[in-house]
Amino acid sequence: MVPRIDFEPSFIYDLVWKELLARTKSGKNYPSREEIFAYTRKMKVYWNKKKRGILEEMALVTHLKWRRTEIPCFVVGAPRFASFNAFSHPLTMHIQDYQENPELFLKRLIHELIHNLFIDNPDLWPEDYLDKKYGPESFDTKAHILVYALHVHIAEKCLNKKKNIVHTSEKHGYTRAWEIVKKEGYENIIREFVEYIEEKKKRSNS
């Protein structure tokens, strides 16, 4: 079972961001509700065209399970910037991503959906393993090593894309996580994670 991704505009999100951005250029040019609805429909169509096997493969390769049957994806008109990027919970995307390039939208959506798979399995998040292996690294780095490794696997397995399509953030922690994935190899990182959670499952069942 995999969840259905339910794309929907968020009136509350946009109301808040319109007020916060009212005195800026972004606030004056804030997309209309009609435009946001139109891009929401485009995002849904594009995802339904590209989604085949992606959510299934995420669960299969990690030995994790999707716990939800539906994940709302809120679509906002607010521009993407450092303090308000796409995020996983609640799953939130910007129309700007799709406007710039539908492939960028898909890339960011997959990234956030990987986070959601781990959110669905909180008891199997390998915090102690990550702390032991990558202790000196920042929280952002440790939180994204597995995300990037899995994203590379999905890009190559389901989308026939190269590794360099995965990383887009300029934040240091994210960049550092990407460097680690390239150095250690995404296959090795995923394999070690699966070994860890299988051992954790055995301990919890004994």
Is the domain of 189 the same as that of 93? no
Which of 81, 112, 72 is closest to 17 using CA atoms?
Answer: 81
User: Confidence band (pLDDT; 50, 70, 90) for 78?
Assistant: confident
Model pTM score: 0.93
Residue 152 is predicted with a pLDDT of 95
How many domains, in total, are found in the chain? 2
In tens, the pLDDT along 187-197 reads 999 999 999 99
- Out of 109, 141, 162, pick the residue that ends a domain: 109
Residues 158-167, mean pLDDT to the nearest whole number: 70
In tens, the pLDDT along 100-134 reads 889 989 999 999 999 999 999 999 998 998 999 99
185 part of a folded domain: yes
Is the domain of 97 the same as that of 55? yes
Above 90 in pLDDT, residue 57? yes
34 part of a folded domain: yes
User: Confidence band (pLDDT; 50, 70, 90) for 82?
Assistant: very low
In tens, the pLDDT along 139-159 reads 999 999 999 999 999 999 998
Is the domain of 11 the same as that of 96? yes
66 part of a folded domain: yes
Is the domain of 99 the same as that of 29? yes
Is the domain of 98 the same as that of 141? no
Residue 165 is predicted with a pLDDT of 61
**Whole-number mean pLDDT of the chain?**
90
Is the domain of 24 the same as that of 92? yes
73 part of a folded domain: yes
Name the residue with higher pLDDT: 54 or 163: 54
114 part of a folded domain: no
Q: Which domain holds residue 85?
A: 4-109
- Out of 55, 81, 109, pick the residue that ends a domain: 109
